[in-house]
Every structure is written in structure tokens, then in C-alpha cells.
Structure 1
């Protein structure tokens, strides 16, 4: 079902419980907290690192996409799909690293702060580190507390919780799509399908590029086909993979090894060694 849109709002939420779907662990509870401290404490032992690998890739893509609109009014916005607490937005537009964020949000000194006090400190923290080449970033995620926090501390310029797997964009997201020039994704390929990308591209009014990091346990081909139907050509350097995180247990490892083999990948030295790995897909206008 589609949850409410979050547009210029702030607030808090409740936690849930983790589970396992198809052999891959889910971490639903870390996205329904009012701030990102639980997210980073839970993922730190698993060495979740894909946003670190995406940082230079997304910065380059955002700069190249902005150059395409040089001379036009308004810079094209980045829409980060499955944005959670705005991690990719933080790394894209600020002089910080993922290690900085782990250190900040797992720091014992910050565990006793109220969410309001943490948000106050975060607004100042990010404002001081804002890059001169920062671009507008919109966030899309069904986890309302997470996107609200990212919006409140200034990481996102707009945020939406439309579930495009279940229905079309609402009025606010439809309006925002007029400004989107780049869609980014890290890890959400396990949860969003071609339906989401089709809904976004159907509403686009500028040329849209897509830069996506997708786990090797997931087939991205349906999305590639949907993007091709909208005139986008997808490229992939299959020789390079990007570690995402350590497995939670042996069951996850077995699931991943079996899944990547089924998709024609070799898990040796990657999934067999204890980590999920992603591939990077870049989609831009052109002939497939």
C-alpha cells in the first residue's frame, strides 16, 4: 500500500522487528526510528559500505548531468530511491565520508541526546560541510521517520513516501519529477522493481539518467528493459563488483551464493568469502 507523502514535514516514528525474506535478512526496524543512530549501530558490525563506493560515482554523474542543462533555469535534481536517512545525499553534497557518519552516530557521547538535540547538532554539522557544488536532492522511501529526519536536518530538499510498487506517484511527487535529472539507488534493487522506475520515468520532464548499485543476487534486467523502453541505454562493467556488507549468518551466505550462481555470476572470492557484492549500472539516453 502507498503510505502518506512526506513533504516539508518533520516528526518521529516507531520501531519494528528484523526478519529474513528469501534467505536475506531484513532490517525494517532500523528505518522506523526517529533518527539514524540505530541504523548506524546495527550496520557497523556488518561493515555496510556501499554508500562509500557510490559517493564518487554519484558525484561524477550529478556533475555531468548538471552540465547537460548548463544555461537552463534551475539545476536538475537528484532523486535518491530508497534514501532512508539521506545517507547518499549527505555523502554527495558534503565534505564527509561514510566513516565520518559511522563515527558520529555510534559515538557514546551522542547516544544520550534527544532526537531534537541531535537534529539541531546535525543541521549545524551538515551546513558547515556543504560543498559549493551541492545539487538539489529529493528522497523517496516508504520509511516515513527516516525521510522526515533527513528533511529536517537539511540533507533533502524534498521527501516522499509514495510506494510506487503499489500505485502511481501522488501530486507532490508528480510535480517534483519535473525537476529530476538523475535517479540514484544503492541496495534498493532487492525491494523496488521496474514498476517504480517506470512510474518515475513516465512523470519525467527532463532527460533522466539512472545510476544504480544492485546486489548480484538480484536480476536488474527487467529494470534495464523498462529503462530501454524510455530511451535509456544501460552500461555495466561486469568485471568490477562493489562489496556491500558482511553476511549476518551462514544462511545468508548460502542464499547469496545460490542466488548469484543462478544468475550466472561466480561467487568465488566474493559472496563465498562472506559479503554481498553489487554491480554498478549506468543508464543514459541513447540507443540500446
Structure 2
């Protein structure tokens, strides 16, 4: 889910109302609305997510066996996997990019090619579509990626499960309450949290509850990593401070880099966003002043890690 779902979360901006596209039985309306605006942040985030996954995999010879909550019958498997939680996961776009040989342009073209299919037919076609595209890491790799979806939109989560994009999916609103027992179990051994469009809709409560559920025990240090892309109209300071004080996690911004999210849909939307970034003391010239929403990348790491985030992001 992106923050158009909750436009009131902006300090000043009244964003275009895309609320209707986030909870449908398939993503065709989502892509129809956002493709003309050149929505691209999931694609731009992918190299950073992959780099952190490479680091996690190289740091441990084998990912811990994990319990998987089945999309259908609660079956359990113990295959070695690197577990990723996608916060605000919507229809599973990040999972599609991460686990399959496809990009945003390919996804947009696919969904535009089937306007006459019923939702049921679309889901069946999409399951075949993703099955045909081999995993980026190959079926024989030692560490495979398993993506868990978290979004308050039940139809979007249902789609991601039926098409196999998510190994498990949940609609818990962690801004309001603690994780359900099923979600808490699914969060065990999660190594990486990804969020490419949720900040502004979710905040410190959600991230803290995830970190609490993901660590081995209440007294053990957190080994969690996070990659979060945050629009410049928002602050990530409260989230970062909560993760530091409660869990010893260190959050750093990837310096010198900004990332296009999408074009503004109107002059009003642009004017309001410019006012928001100015209020934060930021310069909009060449960024929001040029008709785009822009995001920054924040990497959250274990406090025990002694490397440099800048080195991890080098060359990306």
C-alpha cells in the first residue's frame, strides 16, 4: 500500500485519491492508475533490497529453518529460506520483482493485456504467468527468499496468496494492536523488513511491533535489517529513534541519493508537497519542484554490526 491510502497523513499535501485501487481482487486498476504517473519506486528499491539480502546470506552459511503459514491449509515446511516481510505489500509487487524475472514495465504490460478477463480468470492467468518466470535465485540455491505480505487491504493480500507471490499474508493493523498469534509466528526468523511506500500510513508503532515479534526472545538483541523508502514529505526520525531505544537497531540514511516515486497528478498536489518539504528545511529545486515525488532510502541494521551502510550501497 502506498500513502495515497491515507492522504490526511500528509502535513499539508492533499494527494490524489487512489483509495479505490488498493483493495480490488486483482491489480489491473492499480497499474492503470499509476503507470501513467510513472510509478517506479519498487523497481528503484530492488537493488538495495538485493544487496542487503546478499549480505544477510553471506553472513550466515544457511538461513534458519522456518515455519511457513500456508496460504491454504496451514502446512509446515522446514526449507532453508531468508524470510522477508513486506510492509504495505499491496498486491505483492515487491515480491514479484524480488523473486521473478520481471520488472515494473513488464508487470504493467501484462496487466494491461488482459482487460476482458474476469477477476477469477485474471488470478488464474497471473498464477501461470509468475510460475513460468523462474526465481531470480534459481530453484537450487541454498538460500531462497520467502516474502510475507502485510497490508490492511484484504483483497490485495488474497490476490498475492492466490498467485503465489506471498508465502503468507496478513491484514493486521499494527498501528492499533499487537500482531495476531499467526502473524507473530510468521515473523519469527524474519531477517529483512522492506517498506517501499508505507511510511505516512504506518509509523513507529508498526515497526516496533514487528521488531519485537521478530527477535528470538524479549531479552535477546535484535538482528533485524530493514530497507525503508520514505518520501521526503515525511520524517522517519520517530521510527528510527524507537528502533534504537527499544531494540538497539541503528538506522542510517543512504547519503547523496534520492529516488523518484511517481509524478504528481495535479498542480495542487505538487504545490502542497513543495510546501511540506520546505517546512522540513529541504530544497525542492530539481526534485519536488520538477513534478515528482522523491524518496530517500533508510537502512536499519543490528547495533552489533560494524560495517558501513555506505559501503553496502556502493555502486548501486
- Superposed pair shares fold, TM > 0.5: yes
List alignment gaps of at least 5 residues for structure 1: 1-16
Give CA deviations for 1:12-62 in whole Å, capped at 9, x if unaligned.
xxxxx9885342233211011100000000101111110110111112222
> Number of aligned pairs?
270
Asked if 1:59 is matched to 2:50, the reply is yes
Q: What SS is found at the alignment partner of 1:218?
A: coil
Matches within 5 A, 1:88-237: 88-107=94-113, 110-131=114-135, 132=138, 134-205=144-215, 207-229=223-245, 230-237=247-254
CA contact (8 A) 2:258 2:296 kept: yes
Deviates more, 1:122-131 or 1:212-221: 122-131
Cα distance, 1:130 vs structure 2: 2.8
Report 1:63-74 matches (<5 A).
Answer: 63-71=54-62, 72-73=64-65, 74=80
Per-residue CA deviation, residues 179-215 of structure 1 (Å, 9 max, x unaligned), is 3110000111121000000110111135210100000
State the alpha-carbon separation in 1 of the partners of residues 5 and 279 from structure 2. 26
What is the aligned partner in structure 2 of residue 11 from structure 1?
none
Whether the aligned pair in 2 keeps the contact of 1:69 and 1:76 (CA below 8 Å) is no
In 1, Cα distance between equivalents of 2:298 and 2:6: 28
Name the counterpart of 2:35: 44
1:256 counterpart = 2:256: no
Contact 2:6-2:201 at 8 Å conserved across structures: no
Bigger Cα displacement from structure 2, 25-34 vs 48-57: 25-34
Report SS of the residue matched to 2:81: coil
User: Counterpart of 2:199 in 1: which secondary structure?
Assistant: helix
- Give, in angstroms, the shift of residue 136 of structure 1: 0.5
63-72 vs 133-142, greater mean Cα deviation: 63-72
Determine helix, strand or coil for the equivalent of 2:239: helix
Deviates more, 1:225-234 or 1:169-178: 225-234
- Using the size of structure 2 for normalisation, the TM-score is 0.81
Q: 8 Å contact 1:77–1:182 — kept in the other structure?
A: yes
Change (3 A) 1:240 1:19: closer
CA deviations on 1:152-189 (whole Å, 9 max, x unpaired) are: 00000000000001111001001111131100001111
Where does structure 2 lack aligned partners over 5 or more consecutive residues? Answer: 66-79, 217-222, 306-316
Residues 1:268 and 2:285 aligned together: yes
Checking the alignment, whether the CA contact within 8 Å between 1:243 and 1:278 is kept in structure 2 is yes
CA–CA distance in 2 between the matches of 1:237 and 1:67? 21
- Quick check: 17-26 or 142-151, which moved more? 17-26
Q: Distance between the aligned counterparts of 1:53 and 1:266, measured in 2? A: 22
1:280 is the counterpart of 2:297:
yes
Equivalent-residue separation in structure 1 for 2:289 and 2:282 (angstroms): 12
- Using the alignment, how far apart are the partners of 2:6 and 2:42 within structure 1? 23
**C-alpha distance in structure 2 between counterparts of 1:231 and 1:221, whole Å:** 15
For residues 152 and 97 of structure 1, what CA distance do their matches in structure 2 show?
20
1:271 and 1:277 in contact (8 A); partners too? yes
Q: CA RMSD in A?
A: 1.8
Cα offsets for 1:199-249 (capped at 9, x unmatched): 101111352101000000000000110121211111213321000001111
Query: Quick check: 1:91–1:98 contact (8 Å CA) kept in 2?
Result: yes
* 1:42-86 Cα distance to aligned partner (Å, 9 max, x none): 101111110110111112222222333323433231000000000
Q: Secondary structure at the match of 1:244?
A: strand
